[in-house]
Amino acid sequence: MSSSGHLALVPRLLGWDYCALPGDERKTFEVALHAGSAPALALALRGSLFRDPHLQALTVLPAAVVGLAFERQIEERLGGVRSVAIAQIAGGLALLAADLMPERRGAATALDHLAVGFGQAAALIPGVSRSGAALTVARLRGLSRDASAGLALRAALPVTVGAGLLKGTRAVQNGVPGPLRVPVAVGALASLGSALAALPLARGTRWRAVSLYRVALGAAALRVPLA
């Protein structure tokens, strides 16, 4: 459901001046969210963590290339609250429409993995949601809900770990201020809890509720006037 999207939109809805924090501190919170969600993904994939690594690489390569080349430009140009809110709405509507596609296949091909990889590259746009993009692409290609959920989870783990390591290295280099350590730890634990709670949604068929929630969140953020 997009951790970066929630970081941008929830503070706005609650009247928190999150954007006033230094950029390095905001990055540290993002690292905490990645660090918290990764163990939940690993737990969900404990029986197939290293299955078909060559196929899994196809889901990572597009996002890795685009992220290394354009991460800063994407965040600077598309990281504003309004852009994130629109991305949330668009992502929710796209998943809602994709889930109307017939379930034609139950096994993912190499081309499916690569297509999901490009979906994860698009999810570098704040608010799009990595898992949402993967599910949307998989369902558009006719995969069943179960196959789409499994592919999305397998695709998410290496990208989540990679992003966490990259941003975590930067955070360590910059140092974590003492007053920030407790909030960062709380953020990581909250991310772990929410990821564990969301796993049944990914494996189940309740994507419509998630899609509508994303649309509602984005629409609510757009209605809050800029300070």
CB distance 156 to 130 below 8 Å: yes
What percentage of residues in the chain have a pLDDT greater than 90? Answer: 31
pTM over the 0.95 mark: no
Residue 227 has pLDDT above 60, yes or no: no
Q: How many residues does the chain have?
A: 227
Residue 122's pLDDT band (cuts 50, 70, 90)? very high
At 95, which amino acid appears? Answer: L
CB atoms within 10 A of CB 96: 17
Which is higher by pLDDT, 219 or 192?
219
Which is higher by pLDDT, 72 or 128?
128
Q: Specify which residues 143 forms β-bridges with.
A: 105
CB distance 121 to 138 below 8 Å: no
